[in-house]
Structure 1
């Protein structure tokens, strides 16, 4: 296949070649002096091979890709551009394929296109940034860091401190990130300030606080003019419950960057921790004066005081917000919580009911109902929720579900069952409530009722991945005779709909194991554990590792699970079946 270079395509290709082909086809029908043999002979048979530019197949492929993109068939457009990019090593076409893939809503296809683009344009930062973002979206912080560091090695100005903060906030394991960052630092010809700060954050998160403090102390000597340094020192001091050190660091930072809002917030937090409430209020008032009394800032400052239960100060910050037509919903929720904490039940109920339909809506109704139940006012709580269902039809299903859970908590399971049955008799296709009833049936070991409800959901919505997975996993987990193949088909349907869902990955691995294929099950369970480390996935993975003879890995994961999970019924059940797994002979 000829290979060559292609110019960057910046607009849809012209349809002139197609028109020309049609014109030539029409000309063949005109009378002329050529013989039949001459008419059917290939006029290009003796032409030299195409060594540059587009051959016919490539031109056709590009036209199809462009037209597919114009019709909104982005997967086909992506594949078309990738095929020609592969043929000609054309980075521009791989970039165009990536652009099409971004509209395809197919994360796997987008990553494939971006990787091809990166391979053809290894010095470009754009594909590295995209691949880093995709890795972050799936929780693969190690790959995301690798992409950023590769861009830095090429001279790009990638920010690492914010990246590490995001990773730690998302619960990423700091150890492998720290190992990679230290390797990165060792490779630098000269110190890189941002890399040092990011490494210090990882050291602190990994429990190496002495190393982190030593690194920050060195930075304070070499780059004291950087406010980020003092922000991190103050934050780490607060995390170490050293508010005096935090206050000192914040003050030093404010000498470098007067009025820096992040440093002022840290100073206020330190003052609150030290019990210096007047000083904290002075700082928060200065912040509000400097930043135009921003509502979000008021909310943040109020929460600082609430952290240490300084309710009057928090209330004073919040009250000016609720007189505004655009009052943040969270302000009503927090004022309700303050009133509840001070025993003002009716006042709290008033605030909770004023939380509009928003992210805080259900939290407010749950808080209000629980407050009434705690006051031995179950009937009032149920009446409140019933009225809220009438006022907010869009939340009817969620409010019923919430009431069922509260009845269960109060030991009123029969009333919860009756409520669900009543609501489903009126709204038989309510998937949320039917799924909830199915899960309750499973908890009661009523497989027939559970299956009936899940089948109803699947019949109404064949693409309900949760219902498909729940039924498939249950059939696999119970290891019902003659139903494992059915279980696998259900789970595979769920996987086709949500290929990156870790619960479905776990189910797929588990059904393969139940079918006697532990080798095939292992990679699925490893992916599930990486994305969703919970005790049930751990139990599945430990069992498969043990059966495959990987005893050291199985025991290592067992110890990790014991450290992670206080409650681990599936692991305890596993140890009852495989007592030899536990080298210590203890389930605790």
Structure 2
């Protein structure tokens, strides 16, 4: 390579670094905590030692080649060596892109040391300190920010204070009281104080604080909604409704307030007032498609189907949010058992965003109508138009066959996927379930173990394998380890709670089993949970309740094989 060529490469490389470090005014990575911050004049650039330039160059190339970890290491090191604001800002940016939480905190705090008046640096540090529950240090940053910017959304910036425990909340309230003395006209500080007081059940203090916020800023939407919530918590439901009605009339162009009032009316099933309010919203925001979509959702949830359809069809006429509108209309049509209309709406979603999901829904409708061949053709045709979504369409086709109890055909399709992509955990899990339906439990276990090799914390696989072992009264210690791990990862999942209850039953701990199965059934009225709960009640001589649980399960799923098997085995 000639010397000139080498020189050209060096110049080009340094140009890349200089472009990266040029002080462009950037908006912080889409955080809801900032509106426009006060203007900061461009920084002056500075020259670096050769070693620094070399490391920054290596960092940029590493980042462009998909190794942000290496880039961050170099930038973080040079940030501490050079104490340069632009290098530190770039280190913070890369750390944020990676989600490297400790590095974000480190570099943002360094950035503050270098540029104490930089709002972006202090906001970033505040968010990280709150994440680590270093509340006092976070409030130090908030105090500094209050002197730097009057346009920040402090209520959003400080909402993570709700992660504090009661004692910590008391300390934050005390600190906020001190800060408010210096900034008594900041409505957002009063609102966040009210929120913390409410969390500590200091209802009088919370009411006083939120009223202070509203005195300072009467049209403060967050405070209005919070105040209505306080009234409801205090049992003043009618007063809360009247208050929201009055506020929505006072501020008719506040869409969030209007939608919130609509939701309260929907919850109270006050259809006359709700119909009027939804119409008012549509009239007040004729060019805001999000309002029409929200009002349609609220209308549909309260069976005001005509209003929902009207607003959704308006969206389609205006060519706004058409994917969402067609999907919603398809959902409404399916709820009315008009599956042909549902399919027609879904067919209006063309290749692009939403297309794959729409085609899979069409196939599901066709399968439900008993036309599995049409469903298969739908998926295969869609695959031709969206080849990048081949995996999703193949999984959907396999699921169609499984639902049609053609499990071997499902396995055949899943084999194709797994042969091409052995780490396809969705296909492996689905194939395991198909093997279970064919009573091929060794193959099922093999697939589930492969899933757990790739994803050790996959709760569905942990639960399925643990439940199968428990159900066959086999290797109960191993079943216990699997199900308890799944339960620790997802303690509110009714399927996992059911498995744990069934395991306790198999191990002879009927009292613990009954508690768990009752909890699972309260969360999800599933036929299998009903079968299990009915069985444990029966063996504990609570036969009348067992019969009632089984009958409820059969009302929901009349053709339930598992419930009928349990009843036959235990009652005959």
| Whole-angstrom CA distance in 1 between matches of 2:267 and 2:458 | 51
Tell me if the contact between 1:339 and 1:345 (Cα under 8 Å) persists in the aligned partners.
Answer: yes
Secondary structure class of the residue paired with 2:331: helix
Unaligned runs of 5+ in 2: 1-14, 19-46, 464-480, 518-572
Structure 1 residues 152 and 220: alpha-carbon distance in aligned structure 2, compared to 1, 3 A threshold: closer
1:188 aligns with 2:179: yes
Q: Which position in structure 1 is the counterpart of 2:496?
A: 567
Secondary structure class of the residue paired with 1:567: helix
Q: Which position in structure 2 is the counterpart of 1:333?
A: 327
Structure 1 residues 388 and 173: alpha-carbon distance in aligned structure 2, compared to 1, 3 A threshold: farther
Tell me if the contact between 2:191 and 2:209 (Cα under 8 Å) persists in the aligned partners.
Answer: yes
1:116 aligns with 2:110: yes
Cα deviations by residue, 1:264-305 (Å, 9 ceiling, x for unpaired): 222333344454545434433443333333222211111111
Q: Which position in structure 2 is the counterpart of 1:59?
A: 49
Tell me if the contact between 1:142 and 1:177 (Cα under 8 Å) persists in the aligned partners.
Answer: no
Structure 1 residues 90 and 383: alpha-carbon distance in aligned structure 2, compared to 1, 3 A threshold: closer
| Whole-angstrom CA distance in 2 between matches of 1:386 and 1:239 | 54
Secondary structure class of the residue paired with 2:49: helix
Secondary structure class of the residue paired with 1:309: coil
Tell me if the contact between 1:349 and 1:368 (Cα under 8 Å) persists in the aligned partners.
Answer: yes
Superposed CA RMSD in Å reads 5.2
Q: Which position in structure 2 is the counterpart of 1:252?
A: 246
Structure 1 residues 258-407: aligned runs within 5 Å: 258-324=252-318, 327-357=321-351, 360-378=354-372, 380-407=374-401
Tell me if the contact between 2:187 and 2:214 (Cα under 8 Å) persists in the aligned partners.
Answer: no
Secondary structure class of the residue paired with 2:310: helix
Tell me if the contact between 2:376 and 2:397 (Cα under 8 Å) persists in the aligned partners.
Answer: yes
Structure 1 residues 419 and 244: alpha-carbon distance in aligned structure 2, compared to 1, 3 A threshold: farther
Structure 1 residues 268 and 76: alpha-carbon distance in aligned structure 2, compared to 1, 3 A threshold: closer
| Whole-angstrom CA distance in 2 between matches of 1:407 and 1:200 | 55
Structure 1 residues 586 and 353: alpha-carbon distance in aligned structure 2, compared to 1, 3 A threshold: closer
Q: Which position in structure 2 is the counterpart of 1:225?
A: 218
**CA-CA distance at 1:345 after TM superposition:** 1.7
Q: What is the aligned residue count?
A: 441
Q: Which position in structure 2 is the counterpart of 1:28?
A: none
148, 152, 158: which one pairs with 2:142?
152
User: What is the TM-score when the length of structure 1 is the normalising length?
Assistant: 0.58
197, 211, 214: which one pairs with 2:207?
214
Structure 1 residues 569 and 472: alpha-carbon distance in aligned structure 2, compared to 1, 3 A threshold: closer
Structure 1 residues 292 and 258: alpha-carbon distance in aligned structure 2, compared to 1, 3 A threshold: closer
| Whole-angstrom CA distance in 2 between matches of 1:189 and 1:424 | 61
Structure 1 residues 246 and 301: alpha-carbon distance in aligned structure 2, compared to 1, 3 A threshold: farther
447, 450, 464: which one pairs with 1:450?
447
Cα deviations by residue, 1:320-373 (Å, 9 ceiling, x for unpaired): 222455552010011111112222221111112223345544544454444445
Structure 1 residues 261 and 395: alpha-carbon distance in aligned structure 2, compared to 1, 3 A threshold: same
Unaligned runs of 5+ in 1: 1-9, 14-55, 455-465, 478-513, 515-533, 541-560
Cα deviations by residue, 1:62-117 (Å, 9 ceiling, x for unpaired): 23234335645566665455445545666665345435656778666445433433
**CA-CA distance at 1:316 after TM superposition:** 0.8
Cα deviations by residue, 1:145-201 (Å, 9 ceiling, x for unpaired): 667533212243553433566898xxx688688456434434435255323323444
Secondary structure class of the residue paired with 2:88: helix
Cα deviations by residue, 1:13-37 (Å, 9 ceiling, x for unpaired): 8xxxxxxxxxxxxxxxxxxxxxxxx
| Whole-angstrom CA distance in 2 between matches of 1:145 and 1:161 | 15
**CA-CA distance at 1:398 after TM superposition:** 0.8
Secondary structure class of the residue paired with 2:496: coil
Structure 1 residues 82 and 587: alpha-carbon distance in aligned structure 2, compared to 1, 3 A threshold: closer
**CA-CA distance at 1:309 after TM superposition:** 2.0
Question: Which of the two has higher C-alpha Rg?
Answer: 1
**CA-CA distance at 1:418 after TM superposition:** 2.9
Secondary structure class of the residue paired with 1:292: coil
